[in-house]
Amino acid sequence: MKSKAYLILFFVLISLNFYAQTKMLTGNKHLIILNIPKNWIQVQTDEIPFLIKPYEKEVSDNTYMYVYGLDYGSSPDLNLWIQGNNDGLKDQIPEIKINEFDINFENFKKDNFLTGRYRAVKYIYPDFKEEVLLVIETQTTIVTAVLSAKDNDEFIKYLNSFKELVNSVKINKANVTFK
């Protein structure tokens, strides 16, 4: 009987730990479920609904990750979206360096909502800030995941956390109405 109580307590603690880190992000046409990586915490901001930062002392304001979904009335094209984003950044910051970033994920295969298409782009700003932008295409939504770091050292340090975050992402079709 005592071992059964310990077993139940163990599963409750595991469940609480699992669910405490799982987040759900919704839009009118999408539902994104993801897990916050270990040693990262969600912070409140008016600009981005889901923003996380490393849970460490003295972390730069330029070091964070986020996931965001943008719904469209027609099927979006990730290549056109990336081109528009890159052109906008080049107009604002002519010295920015933009390159493709080779990274692979198994969780974005084509299904009834995902197109199976995704691409990553790396940005290096004049102040040495580095970002990777992952763009995931669905039938109605562009989902972006970003790792931003103050410099290359922090970028390398947190790249595995970015992979952990993105590997946990599940994107589903939704018909969400807000009242």
Let me know if residue 42 belongs to a domain.
Answer: yes
Let me know if residue 74 belongs to a domain.
Answer: yes
Q: Dihedral of CA 169/78/116/70: which sign?
A: positive
Quote the CA–CA distance of 172 and 116 in Å, as a whole number: 13
Let me know if residue 2 belongs to a domain.
Answer: no
Residue 94 carries which DSSP code? Answer: T
Let me know if residue 150 belongs to a domain.
Answer: yes
Let me know if residue 107 belongs to a domain.
Answer: yes
Quote the CA–CA distance of 127 and 145 in Å, as a whole number: 22
**Hey, which residues does 134 pair with through a beta bridge?**
120, 145
Let me know if residue 1 belongs to a domain.
Answer: no
Task: Name which of 119, 122, 116 is nearest 171 in CA terms.
Answer: 116
pLDDT band at 9 (very low <50, low <70, confident <90, very high): very low
The enclosing domain of 63 has a CATH number of 3.40.1000.10
Residue 131 carries which DSSP code? Answer: E
Quote the CA–CA distance of 59 and 50 in Å, as a whole number: 18
Task: Name which of 141, 139, 134, 138 is nearest 71 in CA terms.
Answer: 141
Domain ranges, residue 164? 23-173
Quote the CA–CA distance of 142 and 30 in Å, as a whole number: 10
Determine what percent of the chain is predicted with pLDDT higher than 70. 87
* The predicted structure's pLDDT at residue 136: 98
Give mean pLDDT, residues 133-138: 98
Mean per-residue pLDDT over the chain, rounded: 88
- Is residue 68 pLDDT above 90, yes or no? yes
Burial of 130 (0-12, 13-18, 19+ CB in 10 A): buried
User: How many domains does one find in the chain?
Assistant: 1
Q: What's at 125, amino acid-wise?
A: Y
Which regions of 8-79 does DSSP assign to beta strands (E)? 22-26, 30-35, 40-43, 51-54, 64-71
* The predicted structure's pLDDT at residue 44: 86
pLDDT band at 179 (very low <50, low <70, confident <90, very high): low
- Is residue 12 pLDDT above 90, yes or no? no
Let me know if residue 123 belongs to a domain.
Answer: yes
